Structure 1
């Protein structure tokens, strides 16, 4: 059984800050958000974690490779270099949804996201090293089959974008509703899903559902590891097996799985 650690990263008092003392230029806000996201990707990724931008003012990280001190250091680094600070809620669970709910509860209990006095909260529980190594996290890496031939080289760029987004939305809803998994668009035609223990048939059913609902055909590689990085790299290699073999689902999981 996997055990996922999720960290919800929330910019403190961001809504009011964007219009104080007067509304800030959108281009400046987009630049700040993208730089903060890239910075968190680098810092959390250095410790084996993944970060997904969600709504940008809220970012969701898979932090199985990070302990309490790692979180403190990242939070301090952001406060020292940005005009905004961040709060972090940490949760764990047998499913990613359970872990995210716990992480979200930490911040909601501490106060509103738009409360100017609620700043730099850090709360929740991290996995101990033995549990993290023994149980690990499962990551599935989806992409669209022959996206170049089907979309990129045949229709305009916005129509391609719509098709990819529809596929992502259908997959995201299905994996969350059926399997308590968290799925994130990561650019191009790629979606990364953080999942509990699931059999190959669960991924096959997801692919059939997306194809039937929006006509987008997917393939997926699945991996598991002590950190999101380890699981994600295993999933990438499994996805390459899909491309090489012409299969829809490939798993790079421990031999006893």
Structure 2
């Protein structure tokens, strides 16, 4: 059974800030968002977590292994170096979707994302160290089969982008609605999903759904671990097995197996 700890990171009062005292240049906003995301990737990654940009003003992290003090240090670091602060809601559940719902409710209960008085909220309960296991997190790493030969070297870059985005959208919705999983585009042709304890046939069904809906062929490596990093590395090893064996789904318990 999985127990995924999810942290919702939300920039405080970001909408009003972008137009106060007058609208800020879009290039400056994009720069700030990308730097903040990169910074959070580094800080959360240092503790073996993963963070995904989603809408940039809202970012979702898999934070198994990070305690409340770790979250507080990240908030303090952001506040010291950026013109904006961030609030964080934490939730844990066998279902990543439910964990995110709980994390979101923490921030929504504290006040609106555009409430200037709601700043640096930190709420929700972290998973106690004594309740952690080596199989808490299941990560699935998807990519497009032969993306270079099928798209990159054959059609223009924007048509390739459309195909990848369509595949991602179909997969994201299917895994969310059918299996309570959270899927994130991470660049190139790669999608990483935080999943509950899904079986191999469930992944095969997801791949078949995407192929039938948008004609994009996927393969996936699946890994388990005590943290996003451990599970993600195991998933990367499993994905390499897919490429080597010509299979669609491979599973690895740990990156060392």
Q: Output the TM-score relative to the length of structure 1.
A: 0.98
Q: What is the deviation of 1:135?
A: 4.3
Aligned residue pairs: how many?
Answer: 254
**Which residue number in structure 2 is paired with residue 222 of structure 1?**
222
Correspondence 1:237 to 2:226: no
Contact 1:9/1:58, CA 8 A, preserved across alignment = yes
Runs of at least 5 residues in structure 2 that lack an aligned partner in the other structure: none
Contact 1:207/1:219, CA 8 A, preserved across alignment = yes
- What is the alpha-carbon distance in structure 2 between the residues aligned to residue 103 and residue 181 of structure 1? 15
Q: What is the deviation of 1:133?
A: 2.5
Contact 2:5/2:96, CA 8 A, preserved across alignment = yes
**Which residue number in structure 2 is paired with residue 65 of structure 1?**
65
- What is the alpha-carbon distance in structure 1 between the residues aligned to residue 35 and residue 253 of structure 2? 34
**1:4-38 per-position Cα deviation (integer Å, ceiling 9, x unaligned):** 00000000000000000000000000000000000
**Which residue number in structure 1 is paired with residue 178 of structure 2?**
178
Runs of at least 5 residues in structure 1 that lack an aligned partner in the other structure: none
Q: CA-atom RMSD, angstroms? A: 0.7
Structure 1 stretches (4+) deviating beyond 3 angstroms?
none
Which structure 2 residues correspond to residues 6-21 of structure 1 after superposition, within 5 A? Answer: 6-21=6-21
**Which residue number in structure 1 is paired with residue 129 of structure 2?**
129
- What is the alpha-carbon distance in structure 2 between the residues aligned to residue 65 and residue 227 of structure 1? 6
- What is the alpha-carbon distance in structure 1 between the residues aligned to residue 27 and residue 162 of structure 2? 24
- What is the alpha-carbon distance in structure 2 between the residues aligned to residue 57 and residue 150 of structure 1? 34
**Which residue number in structure 1 is paired with residue 91 of structure 2?**
91
- What is the alpha-carbon distance in structure 1 between the residues aligned to residue 233 and residue 114 of structure 2? 37
- What is the alpha-carbon distance in structure 2 between the residues aligned to residue 58 and residue 160 of structure 1? 27
